[in-house]
Amino acid sequence: MNAPRLDLYAPIHKALRAWMFDTIVAVGRIDGRDEPALKATLRKVEGLLTICASHIEHEHDFLHRAMERHMPGSAREADLGHQAHHRQMTRLRGLVAQVQDAEAAVRFPLLMTLYRELAMFVAENLTHMQWEETVHNEALWARHTDAQLDAIHDELVQSIPPQEMAEVLRHMLPALSPLERHGMLADMRGKMPPQAFEGVLQLAHEVLGPHCWADLQRALGLQLELPAGRAMAC
């Protein structure tokens, strides 16, 4: 059996799926009478929309450019999808503002509209991500070696500001399987300054449960004494 090819989409899409599901559940649970909780959840929606917009830019600037260089038109369908996502995100941002400013009597129907429209945005993204992970990966694999794909990935990652990267890792690390997590952190350890990598480990410790954290330390051959992390399922 051939070794699996490098999949540039899988880790970030796992993070985005987890982030989307988490946000939609939070919106469904909103207590519209609880102002601080409402504000916190609406910020969560805005955070998701910001990361989705940024993700579109990264895909366009690095992956679509690589595809189009070899196969003009190969990223066109996804580009059109991204344009539709931008329109949906503008509508969702408007709904967030309306909920925020609404009187209690109209807040509840508006929250239901936000919940349903966010769900449709998530549904569209699930279909879109499947297209990218199948059709786009095949196109990328046909014209690039794994080393070339890895170089594209490194360039993409280096373009991401540290704060955005930390937010992404906060959602990505718990969303990956242990083997994916080990592979990603081993790769980062080889490419990052030691101090920056320590920051990643601290973050991993915060977002992973004790079992996954111990498993990660074993895989990386580490024995770190860090303050207690959050209690998570894994």
Between CA 52 and CA 27 the distance in angstroms is 17
* Structure token pair of residue 65: 């450019």
Shortest distance in whole angstroms from residue 92 CB to Fe ion:
17
Shortest distance in whole angstroms from residue 64 CB to Fe ion:
9
Max Cα separation, the chain?
A: 61
- Which residue, 59 or 167, is less far from Fe ion as judged by CB? 59
| Short-list 191, 189, 125, CA closest to 154 | 191
**Does 74 engage in binding with Fe ion (CB under 5 A)?**
no
One of 19, 30, 59, 174 touching Fe ion (CB under 5 A)? 59
Shortest distance in whole angstroms from residue 128 CB to Fe ion:
6
8 A C-beta contact, residue 27 and residue 111: yes
The interface with Fe ion within residues 96-125 (CB under 5 A) comprises none
Which region among 59-67, 115-123, 134-142, 196-204 touches Fe ion (by CB under 5 A)? 59-67
- Which residue, 156 or 203, is less far from Fe ion as judged by CB? 156
Q: Which residue number is nearest to Fe ion in terms of Cβ?
A: 59
Phi-psi region of 73 (alpha: psi -120 to 50; beta: other; left: phi over 0): left
* Structure token pair of residue 56: 């579109």
Positions touching Fe ion (CB under 5 A) are 59
